Amino acid sequence: MEQRQSYKTEEQKSSFNTSNVTSPLSAAKLVAKVNSLAIPPSTPRRATARVNSVIPEKRNVDYKSMVDRFAEINTLNDINSYYFAVHKILTKYLNCSFTAFGLYNETSKCINLKLIDKMDNIYSSKIFGSDSENPVSQCFYTRKLIVKDDVNFLNMSYFQGHKVSILPMISVNRCIGVMLIADRHVDASEKLYNFIANHIALIMDNMSLMEKSQEHINTDSLTQLYNHRGFQECLNRELTKAESDNTELSVVMLDVNNISKINRELGHGKGDEVIKLVAEKVKHNLRKSDVAGRYGGDEIAMILPNTDIAEAKYIAEYITYSLSCCFVDDVGPVKVAVGIASYPDCAKEQEKLLILAEQAMYISQAKGYKDGMSAIISSADFNFWDDAALKSYAEIISKRHAQMGVNFEEELLHKFNSEQINSQNHLEEIAKSLAGAIDAKDPYTKGHSTSVSRYSEALARACNLPENEVERISLGALLHDVGKIGIPENVLKKPDKLSDEEWNIMKQHPVIGAEKVLQPNESLRDLVPIVKYHHEHVDGTGYPEHLKGDQIPLAAKIVAVADAFHALVSDRPYRKGLGLETACDILLQGAGKQWDGDLVTKFIQIAPSLVGKI
């Protein structure tokens, strides 16, 4: 290999490099290499070249320990820490008076030297590449070892009279800087120092490349803002700081309106042009402490430390105004939906804060524009149980669940059970919203809960039940499937026939609904029997407790008939909805077995008046 050649000329000696090295040598290999390099020549070359030179005295160096230390510090990932660690090794094992390291800066065309003495004092010096008389520049450009009896060229009076070696730091056949070592034994250790310099260069180069790759790994290539990962990391840091300092923080999220239409009709290039424009306007309006990132395909988000909702709205308004003044060919003025959420008022957890900001952004999209300007919505501006708010919340959670690990169902139940019910109308509104959210989980049963509630109410009236009982049955029917909130979506939305294992999971929903959703809420506990037993069969073959006959509450029997009828007449992924006559025939076939016979008879009598409203 190239490293094991015998160097015969001064040029060859000084050009030792790591062009064939892709990673630092192991400690064992380093020891072998250092031992081969550290043996002084029988007739020192520099001693014969100088009249007044002194043959260096032989010294005992624990090379194995020194190499072990080099191997240990290879794991450091900070350049300054690595410089200091190398300095400590060289001064300890080779008794150097000082060391200095300097990397070449391509932009300024200079070498920035950092010199460290035995007392660990640090000094800085800058050597310009245009200074051709300076030994540091000469070493860098010629890639040759240069030895000086004094360090006047550094313009540091503290180190006058020190003999110093200047070595090129070469990595992958490229000189990246220089290393200076003040050591009177340099004549006997030239190859050793060349080896050390090039080993250090390789580590330095790797660190530099790693820093650059880390910069790009968190940067979005289109907008040059943080990408999703980088934005999340920044938000985590800023939230930790806000919690520590007891300060506010706001997240502003912008979504380009009609971007899908722009991409579809004008091409993705035009869509990228619009997104880049939004990113530029955001960057121009960021304060020094603010951070922006491309949160999604067409979503750009900002982190605003020490900012409440009112201030965040002001900043968002200015950005949206700036965008409305920008015209893109074939697109016109750029308009965005804007959502805002703040810490700690809206949420303290990072995931919830982002969800609320995105939810507010969705509502902003729904509200459109006022006086030509985008509607700017904060999570403090809307009622959680508002239909538009709940729908947008469900959509966001459905989209973000896998990547963020947020449990929509748990959050929804927390909101539901902590809601202060102040009237029957309020209770019915909340129940209706909750039922709608459950139906939204399954696209094939949209409106199912509302229809079952209506059918159950009609059947209860046909049975001449008291009005308060009719209302109870209607509300229980509205929430009869609320337990599906705990059923995995892959089971709930499976278009094919469920496996035995999947069916056992599905059959848990009556118990989940009764015990997990209704039981904790005092206002709804009288609905527990309806929800828990609406899948029981009069012949005892139902679930969850295999009740039969009169063991099953009448209200649950009513909801069971209404639930079955709507399932029969509704479209399903595996079949089209059945006609009125066919559905009634199926109910009659199951009368006395699955459903109560008298209730089936009464329901068939009123079904024609209901079917037109399906």
| Banded pLDDT at 539 (limits 50, 70, 90) | very high
Q: What is the mean pLDDT of residues 190-205?
A: 85
Q: Which two tokens stand for residue 337?
A: 């939906």
The Cα 185–Cα 198 span in angstroms is 19
- CATH number for 345: 3.30.70.270
Cα angle, residue 161 at apex, residues 158 and 163 outer, rounded to 5°:
110
Instruction: Give yes or no for a contact between 395 and 363, defined as CB atoms under 8 angstroms apart.
Output: no
Name, in order, each residue with C-beta under 8 angstroms of 147's C-beta and a sequence gap of 6 or more: 46, 163, 164, 165, 166, 186, 187
User: Is the same domain home to 398 and 423?
Assistant: no
Distances (CA, A) of 28 to 3, 70, 86: 16, 11, 19
Residue 203: name the closest of 106, 121, 101 by CA: 101
| Banded pLDDT at 21 (limits 50, 70, 90) | very low
User: Is the same domain home to 366 and 254?
Assistant: yes
- CATH number for 441: 1.10.3210.10
Number of domains in the chain: 3
Q: Which two tokens stand for residue 281?
A: 């306007």
* Strand 336-343 relative to strand 369-370, pairing: unpaired
Q: What is the average pLDDT score of the chain?
A: 79
Is the model's pLDDT at 428 over the cut of 50? yes
Q: Which of 72-76, 407-411, 605-609 has the highest mean pLDDT?
A: 605-609
Residue 536: name the closest of 527, 549, 525, 524 by CA: 549
User: Is the same domain home to 286 and 179?
Assistant: no
Lowest mean pLDDT among 184-188, 347-351, 558-562: 184-188
Q: Domain span at residue 148?
A: 2-214
Is the model's pLDDT at 19 over the cut of 60? no
**Residue 187 or residue 168, greater confidence:** 168
Domain boundary among 367, 384, 402: 402
User: Is the same domain home to 384 and 522?
Assistant: no
What 8-state DSSP symbol labels residue 482?
A: G
Domain boundary among 402, 423, 440: 402
Is the model's pLDDT at 536 over the cut of 90? yes
User: Is the same domain home to 472 and 613?
Assistant: yes
* Strand 376-378 relative to strand 336-343, pairing: parallel
Using one digit for the tens of pLDDT, what is the confidence trace for 40-62? 443 333 333 333 333 344 567 78
Cα 243 versus chain centre, distance? 20
pLDDT of residue 412: 62
* Bridge partner residues of 168 (DSSP): 178
User: Is the same domain home to 171 and 283?
Assistant: no
335 CB burial (10 A radius; 0-12, 13-18, 19+): middle
Is the model's pLDDT at 464 over the cut of 90? yes
**Up-side HSE of residue 332: CA atoms within 13 Å toward CB?**
7
Is the model's pLDDT at 16 over the cut of 50? no
Q: According to the 3-state scheme, what is the secondary structure of 287-354?
A: CCCCEEEECCCCEEEEEEECCCHHHHHHHHHHHHHHHHCCEECCCEECCEEEEEEEECCCCCCHHHHH
Domain boundary among 402, 429, 462: 402
Residue 379: name the closest of 425, 343, 333, 350 by CA: 343
pLDDT of residue 149: 85
Say what the alpha-carbon torsion angle 220, 224, 229, 231 is, to the nearest 10 degrees.
-150
Q: Which two tokens stand for residue 286?
A: 């960021």
pLDDT of residue 308: 93
Instruction: Give yes or no for a contact between 150 and 161, defined as CB atoms under 8 angstroms apart.
Output: yes
The Cα 132–Cα 114 span in angstroms is 20
**Residue 400 or residue 474, greater confidence:** 474
Which is it for the CA torsion 419, 425, 431, 432, positive or negative? negative
Using one digit for the tens of pLDDT, what is the confidence trace for 218-273? 788 888 898 888 899 999 999 999 999 999 999 999 988 888 788 888 888 888 88
pLDDT of residue 394: 61
The Cα 85–Cα 120 span in angstroms is 11
| Banded pLDDT at 406 (limits 50, 70, 90) | very low
Using one digit for the tens of pLDDT, what is the confidence trace for 267-305? 888 888 889 999 998 998 888 899 999 988 788 999 999
User: Is the same domain home to 155 and 275?
Assistant: no
Lowest mean pLDDT among 114-123, 220-229, 407-416: 407-416
Is the model's pLDDT at 404 over the cut of 60? no
Q: Which two tokens stand for residue 155?
A: 């313009």
Tokens 């690990």 locate to 405
Residue 146: in which H helix or E strand, if any? strand 146-148
Instruction: Give yes or no for a contact between 340 and 320, defined as CB atoms under 8 angstroms apart.
Output: no
Q: Which two tokens stand for residue 360?
A: 């507010």
Using one digit for the tens of pLDDT, what is the confidence trace for 451-460? 899 999 999 9
pLDDT of residue 258: 80
User: Is the same domain home to 423 and 397?
Assistant: no
pLDDT > 70: percent of the chain: 76
User: Is the same domain home to 179 and 226?
Assistant: no
The Cα 303–Cα 252 span in angstroms is 7
Q: Where does 336-414 show beta strands of DSSP type E?
A: 336-343, 369-370, 373-374, 376-378
**Residue 159 or residue 100, greater confidence:** 100
Q: Where does 201-263 show beta strands of DSSP type E?
A: 249-256
pLDDT of residue 264: 81
User: Is the same domain home to 17 and 145?
Assistant: yes
User: Is the same domain home to 464 and 607?
Assistant: yes
- CATH number for 40: 3.30.450.40
Q: What is the mean pLDDT of residues 62-69?
A: 86
- Amino acid letter, 355: I
**Residue 68 or residue 381, greater confidence:** 68
User: Is the same domain home to 519 and 380?
Assistant: no
Residue 254: name the closest of 134, 169, 172, 377 by CA: 377
Long-range Cβ pairs for the range 132-138 (8 Å, 24+) = 135/166, 136/102, 136/111, 136/166, 136/178, 136/180, 137/111
pLDDT of residue 7: 33
| Banded pLDDT at 95 (limits 50, 70, 90) | confident
What does the buried/exposed string (b/e) look like for 545-577 if buried means 16 or more CB atoms within 10 Å of the residue's CB? eebeeeebbbbbbbbbbbbbbbbbbbeeeeeee
pLDDT of residue 567: 87
